[in-house]
Amino acid sequence: MPKISEAQRQSRREQIARAAVAEFAVRGIHPTSMANIVAASGLSAGALYTHFSGKDEIIAYVARQTVGGVFQGLEGLLGAEVLPTPPELIAQITERISSAEVPTGFIVQVWAEAITNPSVHDAANEVYGGAFEFLRSYSARWLTERSEEGGLPEVGQTERQARVLLSLIYAHILQLSLLDAYRTDEFLRDITGGPAGWPGATPAAPGQPAVPPN
């Protein structure tokens, strides 16, 4: 059997993942069988199983590549001369989520599957951990630059802000998938000043949203 390059191997895995996501979107994760994925991928069963051991591994792979990739692609912001404000960062993340090939409904299905499926559970936690580390690094710089004394944030403050940011993002994904009346523009407007005003934000006039600092 001829050897294939790593680039070809990765391309084939992406082909299988796209086919699986298309099937999951139509049928749901549980009703979708490996036979469905094989047929949609255009590959033989033997070729597919060369790259993935089964459906659970495909789900975990897609979760890591898509959801995790949203945050991995933003790592360059941490070295930017001007750091985006928390609302600006969330706006960038929501835009990346909206433009991703994987629908948000699939992400919610993965979360549901993770409750009872150990391999998917591990992937979901891995993705959360990576996103949290990115947001903790972001929050550490954001809070340090806005500290009145120019020193380090108080103990636990960086982690608290990272958790709030990630909770808002996950809540956005869930509501966008489930609620017909939910609107992304309203979500972004609502978080402009943060639940209690982001640290460093300019206080708003009565009846007006808070204005993040430039």
Q: Give the CATH number for residue 20.
A: 1.10.10.60
Distances (CA, A) of 119 to 14, 54, 81, 122, 186: 19, 11, 39, 5, 35
Length of the chain (residues): 214
Q: Regarding predicted confidence, which is higher, 46 or 70?
A: 46
In this structure, the answer to whether residues 5 and 33 fall within a common structural domain is: yes
pLDDT of 211 reads 43
Asked if residue 77 lies in contact with residue 89, where contact means CB atoms within 8 angstroms, the answer is yes
pLDDT of 30 reads 86
Band the pLDDT of 20: cuts 50, 70, 90: very high
Give the three-state DSSP class for 175: helix
Band the pLDDT of 192: cuts 50, 70, 90: confident
In this structure, the answer to whether residues 70 and 17 fall within a common structural domain is: no
Question: How many Å apart are CA 189 and CA 86, to the nearest integer?
Answer: 12
Question: How crowded is the C-beta side of 79, counted as CA atoms within 13 Å?
Answer: 3
Q: pTM score, two decimals?
A: 0.80
In this structure, the answer to whether residues 25 and 106 fall within a common structural domain is: no
Q: Which domain holds residue 72?
A: 54-190
Tens digit of each residue's pLDDT (9 = 90 or more) over 54-101: 999 999 898 888 777 777 778 888 888 889 999 999 999 999 888 877
| 212 has a pLDDT exceeding 70 | no
In this structure, the answer to whether residues 32 and 62 fall within a common structural domain is: no
Asked if residue 187 lies in contact with residue 172, where contact means CB atoms within 8 angstroms, the answer is yes
In this structure, the answer to whether residues 1 and 46 fall within a common structural domain is: yes
Lowest mean pLDDT among 26-35, 144-153, 157-166: 144-153
Give the three-state DSSP class for 86: helix
**Residue where one domain finishes, among candidates 32, 52, 72:** 52
Distances (CA, A) of 63 to 21, 60, 87, 117: 10, 5, 25, 14
Question: How many Å apart are CA 176 and CA 186, to the nearest integer?
Answer: 12
Has residue 163 been placed in a domain?
yes
Distances (CA, A) of 32 to 29, 101, 111, 166, 180: 5, 19, 16, 30, 25
Band the pLDDT of 132: cuts 50, 70, 90: very high
pLDDT of 8 reads 86
Over its C-alpha atoms, the chain yields an Rg (Å, rounded) of 20
| Mean predicted confidence (pLDDT) in 126-141 | 92
Question: How many Å apart are CA 191 and CA 128, to the nearest integer?
Answer: 21
Has residue 197 been placed in a domain?
no
| 1 has a pLDDT exceeding 80 | no
Band the pLDDT of 151: cuts 50, 70, 90: low
Q: What is the largest CA-CA distance in the chain?
A: 72
In this structure, the answer to whether residues 37 and 112 fall within a common structural domain is: no
In this structure, the answer to whether residues 63 and 32 fall within a common structural domain is: no
Instruction: Report which of 72, 90, 208 is spatially closest to residue 139, judged by C-alpha positions.
Output: 90
For a pLDDT cut of 90, what percent of the chain falls above it? 48
Band the pLDDT of 205: cuts 50, 70, 90: very low
pLDDT of 152 reads 61
Asked if residue 97 lies in contact with residue 127, where contact means CB atoms within 8 angstroms, the answer is no
Q: Which residues contact 16 (CB under 8 A, 6 or more apart)?
A: 37, 41, 43, 48, 51, 52, 58
In this structure, the answer to whether residues 115 and 60 fall within a common structural domain is: yes
Query: Residue 170 corresponds to which tokens in the numbers above?
Result: 């996950």
In this structure, the answer to whether residues 74 and 165 fall within a common structural domain is: yes
pLDDT of 119 reads 87
